Protein backbone atom coordinates (compact mmCIF):
# COMPACT_ATOMS: atom_id res chain seq x y z
CA UNK A 1 0.00 0.00 0.00
CA UNK A 2 2.82 2.39 0.85
CA UNK A 3 4.41 1.66 -2.54
CA UNK A 4 1.15 2.57 -4.30
CA UNK A 5 0.88 5.90 -2.44
CA UNK A 6 4.52 6.70 -3.24
CA UNK A 7 3.97 5.96 -6.93
CA UNK A 8 0.86 8.15 -7.09
CA UNK A 9 2.67 11.01 -5.34
CA UNK A 10 5.55 10.80 -7.83
CA UNK A 11 3.09 10.78 -10.74
CA UNK A 12 1.36 13.93 -9.46
CA UNK A 13 4.65 15.75 -8.77
CA UNK A 14 5.99 15.00 -12.25
CA UNK A 15 2.93 16.75 -13.71
CA UNK A 16 1.14 13.90 -15.45
CA UNK A 17 3.61 13.97 -18.34
CA UNK A 18 2.37 17.29 -19.75
CA UNK A 19 4.76 19.68 -21.44
CA UNK A 20 5.22 23.16 -20.02
CA UNK A 21 3.20 25.45 -22.34
CA UNK A 22 5.73 28.26 -21.85
CA UNK A 23 8.74 26.34 -23.17
CA UNK A 24 9.80 26.94 -26.79
CA UNK A 25 9.78 24.11 -29.30
CA UNK A 26 12.78 21.84 -29.04
CA UNK A 27 14.45 23.42 -32.05
CA UNK A 28 13.55 26.95 -30.86
CA UNK A 29 11.48 27.67 -33.98
CA UNK A 30 8.30 29.69 -34.13
CA UNK A 31 5.06 28.84 -35.91
CA UNK A 32 3.54 30.76 -38.82
CA UNK A 33 -0.03 31.74 -37.89
CA UNK A 34 -1.50 33.80 -40.75
CA UNK A 35 -0.98 36.09 -43.73
CA UNK A 36 -2.85 39.30 -44.52
CA UNK A 37 -4.05 39.26 -47.27
CA UNK A 38 -4.49 35.50 -47.19
CA UNK A 39 -2.82 33.20 -49.68
CA UNK A 40 -4.88 32.90 -52.86
CA UNK A 41 -5.89 36.58 -52.83
CA UNK A 42 -5.58 39.08 -55.66
CA UNK A 43 -3.16 41.92 -54.87
CA UNK A 44 -1.68 44.87 -56.73
CA UNK A 45 2.04 45.05 -57.40
CA UNK A 46 2.74 47.40 -54.48
CA UNK A 47 0.71 45.58 -51.80
CA UNK A 48 2.22 44.90 -48.39
CA UNK A 49 1.83 41.32 -47.20
CA UNK A 50 1.85 40.88 -43.42
CA UNK A 51 2.85 37.55 -41.88
CA UNK A 52 2.10 36.82 -38.24
CA UNK A 53 4.01 34.29 -36.13
CA UNK A 54 3.58 33.04 -32.57
CA UNK A 55 6.97 34.53 -31.65
CA UNK A 56 9.79 36.48 -33.26
CA UNK A 57 11.16 34.52 -36.25
CA UNK A 58 14.92 34.43 -36.82
CA UNK A 59 16.88 34.35 -40.08
CA UNK A 60 13.83 35.28 -42.17
CA UNK A 61 14.18 35.30 -45.96
CA UNK A 62 11.60 35.91 -48.70
CA UNK A 63 11.75 35.07 -52.40
CA UNK A 64 10.40 38.50 -53.46
CA UNK A 65 9.79 41.98 -52.17
CA UNK A 66 11.33 44.14 -49.47
CA UNK A 67 11.07 42.66 -45.99
CA UNK A 68 11.02 44.01 -42.44
CA UNK A 69 10.67 42.13 -39.16
CA UNK A 70 9.26 43.77 -36.03
CA UNK A 71 8.57 41.38 -33.18
CA UNK A 72 6.33 38.56 -34.38
CA UNK A 73 5.27 40.45 -37.56
CA UNK A 74 7.03 40.20 -40.92
CA UNK A 75 6.00 42.72 -43.58
CA UNK A 76 6.88 42.09 -47.23
CA UNK A 77 6.26 44.95 -49.67
CA UNK A 78 6.41 44.98 -53.46
CA UNK A 79 6.93 45.84 -56.17
CA UNK A 80 5.89 42.33 -57.16
CA UNK A 81 6.24 41.44 -60.86
CA UNK A 82 4.39 38.94 -62.97
CA UNK A 83 0.80 37.73 -62.84
CA UNK A 84 1.32 35.03 -60.20
CA UNK A 85 3.47 35.48 -57.12
CA UNK A 86 4.73 32.32 -55.39
CA UNK A 87 6.12 33.87 -52.23
CA UNK A 88 8.46 31.47 -50.43
CA UNK A 89 9.30 32.55 -46.89
CA UNK A 90 11.80 30.72 -44.71
CA UNK A 91 12.91 31.20 -41.11
CA UNK A 92 14.96 29.19 -38.64
CA UNK A 93 12.98 25.99 -38.24
CA UNK A 94 10.22 26.60 -40.78
CA UNK A 95 9.01 27.60 -44.22
CA UNK A 96 5.80 28.53 -46.00
CA UNK A 97 4.88 29.23 -49.63
CA UNK A 98 2.02 31.61 -50.36
CA UNK A 99 0.40 32.30 -53.73
CA UNK A 100 -1.00 35.64 -54.90
CA UNK A 101 -2.52 36.85 -58.15
CA UNK A 102 -0.85 40.18 -59.03
CA UNK A 103 -2.48 42.96 -61.00
CA UNK A 104 -0.30 45.82 -62.21
CA UNK A 105 -3.04 48.46 -61.90
Q: pLDDT tens-digit profile of 60-105?
A: 999 999 999 999 999 999 999 889 999 999 999 999 999 999 998 6
- pTM beyond cutoff 0.75: no
What is 28-103's CATH number?
Answer: 2.60.40.1220
Domain ranges of the chain: 28-103
Res 7: pLDDT = 43
Question: If we measure between CA atoms, which residue out of 45, 78, 84 comes closest to residue 64?
Answer: 78
Q: pLDDT tens-digit profile of 41-54?
A: 999 999 999 999 99
Whole-number Å distance between alpha carbons of 63 and 78: 11
Res 90: pLDDT = 97
Average pLDDT, the chain: 81
Amino acid sequence: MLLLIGSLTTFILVGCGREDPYVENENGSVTFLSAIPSSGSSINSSTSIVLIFDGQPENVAASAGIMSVIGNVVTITGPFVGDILLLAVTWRGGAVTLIYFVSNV
